[in-house]
Amino acid sequence: MSQTATQPPVLSVEQIHVAYGSTAALHGISFEVHKGETVALIGANGAGKSTTLRAISGLLKLRSGAIRFEGRDIANQPPDKVVAAGIAHCPEERHVWPAMTVEENLNLGAFLCRSRAEREQRIGMAYHRFPRLRERARQLAGTLSGGEQQMLAIARALMSEPSLLMLDEPSLGLSPKMADEVFDVVRAINGHGVTVLLVEQNIYNALDVASRAYVVETGRTRAARPAAALRSDPELLRAYLGG
């Protein structure tokens, strides 16, 4: 039997409903992520993928449903409590602090560190993972290329040493070559034991890096498949994703 069949999920999202004011955005999304996986949420623009990540990270409140992480209820917890529980969220469009240096951005990602020595150790690990950031440590984040800003956003998220990393559209606005570099980083992070939940508009990039995928349409989970099987199911892709 597979690991996912024999162990409880590290993240369980159960029938969550979310609204922006009076406008419903999620209508009962459910899925699971198991330890060590990379799981992709795929779907068209406006399907509810980013809203789902924002609900998990505490940026949006649930109207109903449940979110459990490592067996604990984290639904509607403040974002800092979600980070402290072991979840990091790398948002869409990166949102680095442009007027601060690379190292200052990393320091802000290390707000959970109890000591300066611990923070410096984590910054050293970030530079080991992302050598290009070491070269630009004193450079303002706003002057970095799009790909370098994405690397910084991921490195900043990893400063909390999460057991689950959520990535929202990591290839957005990047050249194909830089997108390939970013997904190589995602594979390496997952290979070092960090579980990954990925939202990605580029369906085939997502299915290349993920082990499993869920199709999201109009705020609902429509299908769940191993990534390889979903990639080879053009009828399903056409039905829900338009391609």
The domains of the chain are located at: 3-241
How much is the pTM?
Answer: 0.91
Q: Under CATH, which number does the domain 3-241 receive?
A: 3.40.50.300
Give the C-alpha distances (Å, rounded to integers) separating 159 from 27, 118, 163, 175, 225: 33, 10, 11, 26, 32
Contact 9, 32 (CB under 8 A): yes
Distance of CA 200 to the CA centre of its chain: 9
Cβ-contact 109, 157 below 8 angstroms: yes
Note down pLDDT in tens along the chain; length 243 residues.
Answer: 344 556 889 999 999 999 998 899 999 999 999 999 999 999 888 899 999 999 999 999 999 999 999 999 999 999 999 999 999 999 888 789 999 999 999 998 888 888 889 889 999 999 999 999 999 999 999 999 999 999 999 999 999 999 999 999 998 888 899 899 989 999 999 999 999 999 988 888 899 999 999 999 899 998 899 999 988 888 877 766 665
